[in-house]
Every structure is written in structure tokens, then in C-alpha cells.
Amino acid sequence: MKKSSSIVFIGAGRMASAIAGGLVKNGISAETLKAFDVSAQSAKLFQAATGVQVHTDSPDKILAKADIVIIAVKPQQIADALQGKSSLLKDKLIISIAAGVKIATLKSITGGSRIVRVMPNTPALIGQGISAYSTAEKVSAQDICETERILGSVGSFCCVNESLMDAVTGLSGSGPAYVFDFIQSLADGGVHAGLPRDIALKLAAQTVAGAARMVLETGTHPAVLRDQVTSPGGTTIRGLAVLEENSFRGAVAKAVTAAAARSAELGMKNQEK
């Protein structure tokens, strides 16, 4: 991304703050970033966290000078937030992190054609996110490069067909909540077995973090890594048998597909509006 590119955030919530903060940490001058939010409290928190100037009266002036616009408002607020702004938006690179809002809807609202739809997740708040993105037909190679550098400031990324965005939402968008629940369950088991709560939680969280890094860094299939931990007649196979009896993997898979189905429902509602 060219350092001279001017980026404007429409919405100054936690995810916008994470992205802006990531850009600043990666050497982008806070002076090239601007944000708008109707909430004075959100504006105050955003500016304190990132050093980026936030406007609360009107975004028109900063939109006029923007090269890239990041839409970071709630899906149900997007139409109102961008009403009457098409003349200011139509020639910009528009990156939307508004969940469930399709590219076709974004085109209709903004009047633009250079649109990227993104599904980030909450670990972006600590620079460990994974974002999936889809692009409109007229997004250029340079636009994609700029998008990936922005997303790379808060973690990793991948490109998917827009038809897969609901599945992404069900897996990585909602996935941190499943993992947090799993960590709590591991810790609860540790407490039940006699560990102090603080130690059990630390052991559980680091176990999940370390196991995830093994999958990512070794490229080994999770089933192979699982078998490397599992000795015949040992402790791990006893625990795995209990998980199997309670349909652990099936329940997790069903959670992902249920969340994906709900994402599709919400997307249809946004499209209808």
C-alpha cells in the first residue's frame, strides 16, 4: 500500500480500531487515516487507541479526499450511514467489513464498482485475526494488493468466492466463540480434577494456542497430530472415547453449519432492505 493512500473508516468501533491500530503499528502514518462515527464515545476510544483523527459531524469532507473507504458499521446501519454519499464513493476502493452485506448491495448503496467484501474475526483485535475476502469484478490487482496489506496488518487472510462467505462466517467469524467455550470446558475439567482455576485456565488456553500453531506451522493433518498424542491404552484415548460418545466433532460441525445458515438468513434480510 502506498504510504500516500488516504484511508477513511466509516464507523469507529472495535474492529475498525483494530485495523487502524494495526496499520499504524506497521508504519502507516496516522495522518493518512481518518474516521467518522456518530458516537462521541466511540470516536474518543478510537482516537485514544490509534492516534487517528475522528469526525462526528459529517464524513463528506474526509470522504472527498479518501483513496480507500473502509465500511465498518453494523449491517443494519449501512444504508443510513452512506445515504446520499454515492457521488463521494463511486470512484473509491471500498472495503466492507459489515457482516452479511453482499457485494451487489454495496454496489447499489455506494454507486461504486471497486468493492471488496471482508469477513474478519475478533482475534484481529490482538493482531492474530484471519480474514476472508471476496471482490467485485472491477477490482484491480493493485486494489487486491492494498486490501491484503490492510488485512495483513491484523493477521492473515485468504480470498474466497462470495458464495462461500456464509460458510466463512459460520467457521472463522463465529469460531472464536466455540474455541472460547472449549477453553472454558477444558479448564472446568481441570478444576474438577483438582487444579486451581487460574492454573487450569492458563494450561487450557496455552494448550489450544500451541496445538493451533502446530497445525499451521507443520502443515500436518490434525488427525495425524492427534494420533501422535494418542498412545494405545493411554490417557488420551480414554478422553477421546468420551468425546466420541458425546458426538464432539459432529456437534462442532453442526454449530458451524447452523451459524452459516443464520448468516445466509441475515444476508437475505439486508438484501431485502
In DSSP terms, which residues pair with 119 in a beta bridge? 132
List pLDDT tens digits, range 141-195. 999 999 999 999 999 999 999 999 999 999 999 999 999 999 999 999 999 999 9
Give 63-95 pLDDT, tens digit per residue.
999 999 999 999 888 989 998 999 999 999 999
Judged by DSSP in three states, 35 sits in strand
How does the average pLDDT of the chain come out, rounded? 94
The CATH code of domain 173-265 reads 1.10.3730.10
Task: Give the distance, in angstroms, between the CA of residue 238 and the centroid of all CA atoms in the same chain.
Answer: 36
Segment 53-64, tens digit of pLDDT:
999 998 999 999
End-to-end CA distance of the chain: 34
> Which band of pLDDT confidence, cut at 50, 70 and 90, is reported for residue 5?
confident
CB atoms within 10 A of CB 97: 24
Q: Enumerate the CATH 1.10.3730.10 domain ranges in the chain, comma separated.
A: 173-265
**Cα 129 to Cα 156: distance, rounded to the nearest angstrom:** 6
Nearest to 33 by CA among 86, 70, 82, 74: 70
Residue-wise pLDDT tens digits, 111-133: 999 999 999 999 999 999 999 99
Asked if 123 and 129 count as a contact pair (C-beta separation under 8 A), the reply is: yes
pLDDT number for residue 269:
73
Q: What gap in Å lies between CA 66 and CA 113, rounded to an integer?
A: 16
Of the listed ranges 2-6, 20-24, 32-36, the least confidently predicted one is 2-6
Which CATH class name applies to 7-164? alpha beta
Residue 12 has pLDDT above 50, yes or no: yes
Task: Give the DSSP H/E element, type plus range, for residue 150.
Answer: helix 141-152
Instruction: List every span in the chain annotated with CATH 3.40.50.720.
Output: 7-164
